[in-house]
Amino acid sequence: MNNLVILPIIIPVIAGMVMVIFRKRIIFHRYLSVCSIIAVGIVTLLLIFQIDQEGVQTLQLGGWEAPFGVSMVADMFAALLILTTCVVALCCLLYAFRSIGQERENFYFYPLFMFLITGVIGSFMTGDIFNLFVCFEVMLVSSYVLISLGGTGNQLRESIKYILVNIISSFLFLVAIAFLYAMTGTLNFAHLSIRVAEAGQDGLMTVVAILFLIVFSLKAGLFLFFWLPGSYSAPPTAIAAIFAALLTKVGIYAIIRVFTLVFYHEPEVTHLLIGILAGFTMILGAVGAVAYWDIKKIITYNVIVGVGFILAGAASLTAEGLTGSLYYLIHDMVVKALIFLLGGTVIHLTGTSRLKEFSGLIRLYPGLGWMFFIAALSLSGIPPFSGFLGKIFITEGTFEAGFIWLGIIGLLTSLMVLYSIMKIFMNGFWGTDTSEENEKRTTKGLLLPLGILTMLTITLGLGAEGIHHYVDLAVEGLINPGIYIEAVFGTRPVH
Amino acid sequence: MKKPNDVIIRSVTKVAVVIILTFAINLFISGHHQPGGGFIGGLAFASALILLFLAFDIETVRNHIPLDFKVVAAVGVLISVLTGVGAMLLDHPFLFQAFGYFKLPIFGKTELATAVLFDIGVALAVIGTSITIIMTIGDDR
């Protein structure tokens, strides 16, 4: 029993609810939201330290032993992602202070932000598949409101599509859980793993696994990403950044968790399918990123490429591939938030998202320009920055698993990503300032979160050795499901 | 246009609301041993308030029940979460439930459980949310 495990989930809930009660005090909202995110970060650091010392930490809610109660499981994989979530959320909050506008702040922006974080952290931490569904819904309902908050025409149109797609995928999720429960009679991840291993993963079970894959693909934007470019370009910058950094990553986390812990017996079918879908996702995403001359479209298609890349590592089911996936997942959360905030700042400064309508920004905003350059290099995986190591490990993992075509697709799409993002840099920042009325606007307060994230992507690249120990621990837990199961059940025999 | 005469519906409402509220509280209390509980109890309670909205107008009801129902919902969720936090302070797992038997003056030997506090939170959240939805849709402002 370790009550520290539940704190990252309940701190944002309590903070959000207190904010709803004191609705008018916007300054209080700002302080409370920042303080609670920092508190969650500190708790997560403590948790990481504990996991390092004593192994995977669990909490049986209400004192009911697993599989009968709901377990909360904090393994290193989840804890690292939660820590990254905190950092990214903090930067998006700081950005929102300056950019989101009073009207949205008055209509519960900060409480909704807290509930979104609650759902994301809950999904990372839960040890029970139905609880995963509930945490997904907490996250999604908050995101429905955040995407439509403000009520401009574009937002309303895109939020209808977004809500429809997500309601259908949630329905499929529920159906998949019902099938799985009918076959195994349990909902706890660790117990499911034992039951599936005992009964063997027959054809029917593989079908259910693929149903789960479809559900999580809809959430993560793996191949079924048709809803994503529109939805992610509709909301204001700070909200789009937190969506791009966190929402698809929860789907990716769910795929990795389910297909390393429960359905790992038929990799020739399920993991090959993940690999094929990841390959298509990378190609289609890269084609989209190269095709458009619109900043918002280019960066949203880059989100899709990232999803495909992470899951290419997961599809290999080797230690190298999963290490790469975890490195790249952390890098991707940071750098996608950074690139969305940068793109949003450029749009805020120029008043347009079309690349052909402005140029020469680097004369007026040198800091912004060089940060964009660093982010662009990091996004495509140039060595000193954080994207490099993940790409190396993922490519190594796919080659080792025999998916050589997948590794080659990954490398080729990296080039296309570099081209697409450099297109923004060269057309927008270089050249002569074409428009006359484009006087210098203030970037006060906006540059601070951008600076933090840029520093982070540099330190993650240079100091990759420093977190190597923790990533190794996380991957060890993913490769050996026994560690997770033993942490949940102790040494009690369970069938 | 002549103002409609709704004496009958208003008189019936005055009696019916009391009965519905009693029934809602009965549903809420019976949750542990019979069908019922916080969710259905809260919905039944909200339905009584909605009947008031139908029979009288929103302004009148709002003047007599000067509550911000969004705050009611938030307080409900806080109560539910804090019962779990209370267990943590006493070094039990989050959401641990305690119960005991007490001799009460009128009811005699009664089982009291902290699960009721959690259910009060659920009921308040349900009441607050459903009334907020109805008032937001019904309001012209």
Checking A47-52 for CB contacts under 8 A at 24+ apart, the result is A47/A4, A47/A5, A47/A8, A47/A74, A47/A79, A47/A82, A48/A76, A48/A79, A48/A80, A48/A83, A48/A470, A50/A2, A50/A4, A51/A75, A51/A76, A51/A79, A51/A473, A52/A76, A52/A469, A52/A470, A52/A473
pLDDT at A438 over 60: no
A122-126, A465-469, B82-86: which is most confident:
A122-126
pLDDT of residue A345: 92
Rounded mean pLDDT, B123-141 = 88
Task: State whether A63 and B78 contact (CB < 8 Å).
Answer: no
What SS3 class is residue A418? helix
Six token digits for residue A231: 């939805």
State the nearest Cα–Cα gap between B93 and chain A, in angstroms.
Answer: 5
Q: How many CB atoms lie within 10 A of CB A218?
A: 23
Distance of CA B111 to the CA centre of its chain: 21
Residues 6 or more apart whose Cβ sits within 8 Å of residue A448:
A94
Mean pLDDT, rounded, of chain A: 91
- pLDDT range class, residue A416, cuts 50, 70, 90: very high
Encode A461-470: b = buried (16+ Cβ within 10 Å), e = exposed.
beebeebeeb
B31-75 confidence digits (pLDDT tens): 888 998 999 999 999 999 999 988 888 888 888 888 889 999 999
* ipTM of the prediction: 0.91
A107-143 confidence digits (pLDDT tens): 999 999 999 999 999 999 999 999 999 999 999 999 9
Distance of CA A407 to the CA centre of its chain: 22
* Residues of B whose CB is below 8 A from A61: 93-95
What SS3 class is residue A379? helix
A412 in contact with B at a CB cutoff of 8 Å? Answer: no
End-to-end CA, chain B? 23
pLDDT of residue A490: 82
Q: Using CA atoms, how far apart are residues B30 and B26, in angstroms rounded to an integer?
A: 6
pLDDT of residue A279: 94
User: CA nearest B115 in A: which residue?
Assistant: A62
Task: State whether B78 and A3 contact (CB < 8 Å).
Answer: no
Mutate to test the interface with A, among B67, B70, B90, B94 (most CBs of A within 10 A): B94
A6 in contact with B at a CB cutoff of 8 Å? Answer: yes
Task: State whether A61 and B93 contact (CB < 8 Å).
Answer: yes
List Cα–Cα distances, A373 to A338, A380, A409, A428, in angstroms.
Answer: 11, 11, 24, 11
A446-456 confidence digits (pLDDT tens): 889 999 999 99
Q: Using CA atoms, how far apart are residues A399 and A404, in angstroms rounded to an integer?
A: 5
A149-187 confidence digits (pLDDT tens): 988 999 999 999 999 999 999 999 999 999 999 999 999
Q: Using CA atoms, how far apart are residues A168 and A176, in angstroms rounded to an integer?
A: 12
A11 in contact with B at a CB cutoff of 8 Å? Answer: no
Q: Using CA atoms, how far apart are residues A114 and A200, in angstroms rounded to an integer?
A: 41
Q: Is the distance from CB of A416 to CB of A407 less than 8 angstroms?
A: no
| pTM (whole model) above 0.80 | yes
Checking A152-159 for CB contacts under 8 A at 24+ apart, the result is A154/A234, A155/A234, A155/A235, A157/A234, A158/A230, A158/A231, A158/A233, A158/A234, A159/A231, A159/A234
State the nearest Cα–Cα gap between B41 and chain A, in angstroms.
Answer: 22
Q: Is the distance from CB of A286 to CB of A420 less than 8 angstroms?
A: yes
Q: How many CB atoms lie within 10 A of CB A13?
A: 22
List Cα–Cα distances, A464 to A155, A386, A429, A472, B122, in angstroms.
Answer: 39, 8, 30, 12, 46
- pLDDT range class, residue A440, cuts 50, 70, 90: low
CA proximity to A109, closest of A149, A79, A155: A149
List Cα–Cα distances, B94 to A259, B89, B113, B123, in angstroms.
Answer: 29, 9, 16, 20
A242-286 confidence digits (pLDDT tens): 999 999 999 999 999 999 999 999 888 999 999 999 999 999 999
> What's the length of chain A?
495
Q: Using CA atoms, how far apart are residues A444 and A299, in angstroms rounded to an integer?
A: 24
Task: State whether A61 and B94 contact (CB < 8 Å).
Answer: yes
* Residues of B whose CB is below 8 A from A6: 84, 88, 94
Which of B71, B85, B92 lies closest to A63 in CB terms? B92
Vertex A355, ends A352 and A356: CA angle to 5°?
A: 105
B113 in contact with A at a CB cutoff of 8 Å? Answer: no
DSSP state of A60: E
Task: State whether B81 and A10 contact (CB < 8 Å).
Answer: yes
pLDDT of residue A62: 87
- pLDDT range class, residue B141, cuts 50, 70, 90: low
Q: Using CA atoms, how far apart are residues A491 and B87, in angstroms rounded to an integer?
A: 26
pLDDT at A445 over 90: no
Six token digits for residue A290: 């190269």
DSSP state of B31: G
User: CA nearest A5 in B: which residue?
Assistant: B94
Q: Is the distance from CB of A456 to CB of A464 less than 8 angstroms?
A: no
Q: Is the distance from CB of A471 to CB of A322 less than 8 angstroms?
A: no
Checking A434-441 for CB contacts under 8 A at 24+ apart, the result is A434/A358, A434/A359, A434/A360, A435/A357, A435/A358, A438/A350, A438/A358, A438/A364, A440/A364, A440/A365, A441/A348, A441/A349
A1 in contact with B at a CB cutoff of 8 Å? Answer: yes
End-to-end CA, chain A? 22
A203-252 confidence digits (pLDDT tens): 999 999 999 999 999 999 998 999 999 999 899 999 999 999 999 999 99
DSSP lists the bridge partners of residue B109 as: B103
For the ranges A60-64, A432-436, B24-28, which has the lowest average pLDDT? A432-436
- pLDDT range class, residue B104, cuts 50, 70, 90: confident
A449 prior amide bond cis, ω within 30 = no
Residue with the two structure tokens 């140029």:
A359
B77 in contact with A at a CB cutoff of 8 Å? Answer: yes
